[in-house]
Amino acid sequence: METLHPDVKEVLFSEEDIRAIVSRMGKEISRDYADKNPLIVAVLRGAVVFTADLMRAISCPLSIDFMAVSSYGEAAKSSGVVRIVKDLDTKIEGRNVLIVEDILDSGLTLSYLIELLKGRGPASVEVAAFLVKDVEGNRPAIDPRYVGTHVPDEFIVGYGLDYAERYRNLPYIGILKPEVYSK
Ligand code: XMP
Ligand code: MG
């Protein structure tokens, strides 16, 4: 059993839980993309850990590229403003693109990315989100084709997810203690 970080209030998904979720998603994607040679687009930086696991759970041929967007800065709430920090190196015309994201909250980041990539003439654009945040009365702007699991409307860290660039290396998904980000 991993030791709990003192800034984490509660573990939502253990390493073992995560493995089971990723394995299930990998099977779904392998089946759907068996003959499509998808281009996996990992959204830096948060999705790096999930992408590394997910791509090894996918059995069909694939390629991978990275995009970096910035939406939050170091604040805890989405501003709705998305900035492309690093673009793809791959031409996506005619390709089946699968965007891999760590967490979907308002969906603003992803809806912006989807529109941007669709403008480049890919055969398809779908989304695999490891987490979807359940926010009361709020419907995300997009509907991901693949969803790992849901989390409550709290600040989530670990498994790639950060607060002010910390906690990304925690091997589990946890809830950050509110006193850490309200200070
Ligand atoms: P939107 O609202 O655009 O936000 O769907 C998606 C992006 O915001 C980040 N995000 C979080 N990051 N813990 C984090 O570490 C969270 O609880 C959280 N909620 C949203 C995330 O980077 C995602 O790409
Ligand atoms: Mg992110």
Catalytic residue among 53, 102, 105, 162: 105
Q: Which of 85, 103, 156, when mutated, tests ligand 1's pocket best, judged by the most ligand atoms within 8 Å of its CB?
A: 103
pLDDT digits (tens, 9 = 90+) for 33-73: 999 999 999 999 999 999 999 999 999 999 999 999 876 55
Q: Which of 74, 104, 105, 175, when mutated, tests ligand 1's pocket best, judged by the most ligand atoms within 8 Å of its CB?
A: 105
Task: Count other C-beta atoms under 10 Å from residue 182's C-beta.
Answer: 8
5-7-10-12 Cα dihedral, nearest 10 degrees: -70
Q: Which ligand 1 atom sits nearest the alpha carbon of residue 109?
A: 3
Q: Which fold has domain 15-152?
A: Rossmann fold (3.40.50)
Q: What burial letters (b/e) apply to 36-68, b meaning 16+ CB within 10 Å?
A: bebbbbbbbbbbbbbbebbbebbeeebeebbbe
- Given a cut of 60, whether residue 180 has pLDDT beyond it is yes
ipTM of the complex: 0.91
- Given a cut of 70, whether residue 1 has pLDDT beyond it is no
- pLDDT value for 56: 98
How would you classify the pairing of strands 146-152 and 83-86? unpaired
- Given a cut of 90, whether residue 108 has pLDDT beyond it is no
- pLDDT value for 79: 59
pLDDT digits (tens, 9 = 90+) for 110-134: 998 999 999 999 999 999 999 999 9
pLDDT band, residue 136 (cuts 50/70/90): confident
Q: Indicate the domain borders of the chain.
A: 15-152
